[in-house]
Amino acid sequence: MPGGHRDILIVGAGATGLTAALELARRGYRPRIIDSDPGPVPVVESRALGINARTLTLLSPSRVSDAILQESYRVDRFRARSGERVLFELDPGRVAGKFHAIQILAQGHTERLLLGKLSDYEVEPEWQTVLERVEGSMEKPHVVLRRPDGSAEELEPDILIGADGAHSAVRKAAQLGFPGEALESSFYLADYRYPEPIDPHYVEIDLFNPGMIGRLPVSSDTVRYLSTLPDFERKIRHPVAGGEAVWVSNFRIHFRHVDRMSVGNVFLAGDAAHIHSPAGARGMNLGIEDACWLAYLISEGRGREYSGRRIPAVKTVLKQTYALTSLVTMRNPVVTGLRNVLSPIAVRIPFVANRLLRGIAGYDTPPPPWIDGAQ
Ligand SMILES: Cc1cc2nc3c(=O)[nH]c(=O)nc-3n(C[C@H](O)[C@H](O)[C@H](O)COP(=O)(O)OP(=O)(O)OC[C@H]3O[C@@H](n4cnc5c(N)ncnc54)[C@H](O)[C@@H]3O)c2cc1C
């Protein structure tokens, strides 16, 4: 059991924390994983839908990818339109590789597949268990947990992993700032379930002047609409009549990341370390990638390299999502007019289309050296 004697505490059993636990468990560790929630996120409130080829590569040694491929839908087309005019279409199948560039599966399902594999290693999250405080040196942190029965537990793990989301208590305890910016406008989301099957294989964005509505499949009968317009539900082009909103939400978009992803033996991964817009479907995928790199480096005794290796990847992804978000949130009618003329020309340039699609596949960050043939 290489290094399996080390006490590892993972805070947060979202996609990032579960992946960290699984990747450590399959290397012989027995991490403890806690979460303040009573269980995994309800499937109907899934935020992430897109799973990219890089994630499928990373989750292939644990065979979670096989399970994802059985349940998910391939995205075969991206389409941008302005009114009745199709500006351009892109085919993600153009990205060469073992896996298709992007598949669709609701985050709640993905988390349940990770949980299932984790239980094969007899590691189960401790639900309703809250990280209250982290004190002392970050080399040997002193952690206080609150258990479901209200009692406190104190421990000093060798390694503390903060996968505890955007408001991370671990990040605050490690005194790592979260610099960046929030976009002014809010974003609105509505998932509609239809009485008949819908086409789950394409993603579309409808550009208005100003504003946009994105259409993403959630499953074979449910579509997600994402918009910058508060009254967007009036403008939805429903595929069939009789749809019913099953989840409605709104949120602000932030672009933030820590300057360092570790201090001593305290490590951050996923939304605890970086947040950005959902454009490009990168957030959960990037968190899963952090978790896989962290488990690999810990098992190699090279945890000190983690931050230096991940920060450039995080910056690449934030830059890409910022650019995509700027394209769909611009308000000046002259600039949006120019975008509508220039974007169809730009995506006909193979270099531009390939770069965009490789980003969506997650191939713009360094490949995992522990997986043979990974790109
Ligand atoms: C509308 C929308 C669409 C998105 N679409 C995509 C997409 O298509 N693809 C994609 O890759 N990403 C997408 N994302 C981003 C993605 O949802 C997040 O990046 C992802 O959920 C981050 O996972 P995480 O495990 O790092 O954090 P979280 O999912 O936030 O999990 C953190 C966990 O930590 C627990 N926790 C917090 N504090 C404590 C504490 N003190 N003690 C114990 N437990 C604690 C919480 O209960 C939670 O379960 C989208 C986001 C939004 C808002």
Tell me what the pLDDT averaged over the chain comes to: 95
- Say which residue the tokens 């401790």 belong to: 126
Rounded CA separation 104/33 (Å)? 27
**d(CA 166, ligand 1 centre) in Å:** 7
**In the structure, what pLDDT confidence band is assigned to residue 1 with cuts at 50, 70 and 90?**
very low
**d(CA 270, ligand 1 centre) in Å:** 8
Q: Please name the residue whose Cα sits nearest to atom 44 of ligand 1.
A: 35
Q: Are 170 and 262 in contact (CB under 8 A)?
A: no
**d(CA 11, ligand 1 centre) in Å:** 12
Query: What Rg value do the Cα atoms of the chain yield, rounded?
Result: 21
**d(CA 153, ligand 1 centre) in Å:** 25
Rounded CA separation 177/168 (Å)? 11
Looking at residue 83, what is its pLDDT? 86
Q: Which residues line ligand 1 (CB under 6 A)?
A: 11-17, 34-37, 47-50, 107, 130-131, 163-165, 169, 189, 251, 270-271, 278, 281-285, 287
238: helix, coil or strand?
A: coil
Looking at residue 40, what is its pLDDT? 95
Of 3-17, 48-62, 237-251, 341-355, the least confident? 3-17
What pLDDT, in 10s, does the model give residues 133-184? 999 999 999 999 999 999 999 999 999 999 999 999 999 999 999 999 999 8
Q: Tell which residue, 239, 233, 184, 243, has the closest CA to residue 213.
A: 233
Q: Please name the residue whose Cα sits nearest to atom 52 of ligand 1.
A: 47
Cβ count near 191 (within 10 Å): 24
- φ, ψ dihedrals at 156, nearest 5°: -130, 85
Looking at residue 210, what is its pLDDT? 83
**Crossing angle of helices 283-299 and 15-25, rounded to 10°:** 30
**d(CA 100, ligand 1 centre) in Å:** 24
Average the pLDDT over 197-209 and give the result: 94
Q: Are 196 and 182 in contact (CB under 8 A)?
A: no
Task: Please report the atom of ligand 1 found closest to the CA of residue 168.
Answer: 38
Q: Are 209 and 225 in contact (CB under 8 A)?
A: no
Predicted TM-score (pTM) of this structure:
0.96
148 Cβ contact list (under 8 Å, min separation 6)? 127, 128, 129
Token pair, residue 300, equals 């190699």
Q: Domains (ranges, CATH) in the chain?
A: 8-361 (3.50.50.60)
Strand arrangement, sheet containing 274-275: 85-90, 77-82, 202-207, 212-217, 222-227, 180-193, 244-257, 274-275
Rounded CA separation 320/280 (Å)? 8
213: helix, coil or strand?
A: strand
Q: Tell which residue, 46, 47, 22, has the closest CA to residue 33.
A: 22
User: For residue 173, how many C-alpha atoms fall within 13 Å in the half-sphere facing its CB?
Assistant: 27
Of 215-224, 316-325, 335-344, the least confident? 335-344
**d(CA 346, ligand 1 centre) in Å:** 33
What pLDDT, in 10s, does the model give residues 220-261? 999 999 999 999 999 999 999 999 999 999 999 999 999 999
**The most confident of 65-79, 200-214, 338-352, by mean pLDDT:** 65-79
Q: Which amino acid is at 130?
A: V
Q: Write b or e for each residue in 241-252: b if 16 or more Cβ atoms lie within 10 A of its Cβ, otherwise e.
A: eebeeebeeeee
Task: Please report the atom of ligand 1 found closest to the CA of residue 270.
Answer: 26
Among 36, 41, 44, 47, which is best to mutate for testing ligand 1, by the most ligand atoms less than 8 A from CB? 47
User: For residue 336, how many C-alpha atoms fall within 13 Å in the half-sphere facing its CB?
Assistant: 15
Distances (CA, A) of 250 to 76, 109, 218, 232: 28, 22, 17, 12
Residue 201 falls in which region: left (phi positive, over 0), alpha (psi -120 to 50) or beta: alpha
Rounded CA separation 203/266 (Å)? 39
Cβ count near 224 (within 10 Å): 22
What pLDDT, in 10s, does the model give residues 85-138? 999 999 999 999 999 999 999 999 999 999 999 999 999 999 999 999 999 999
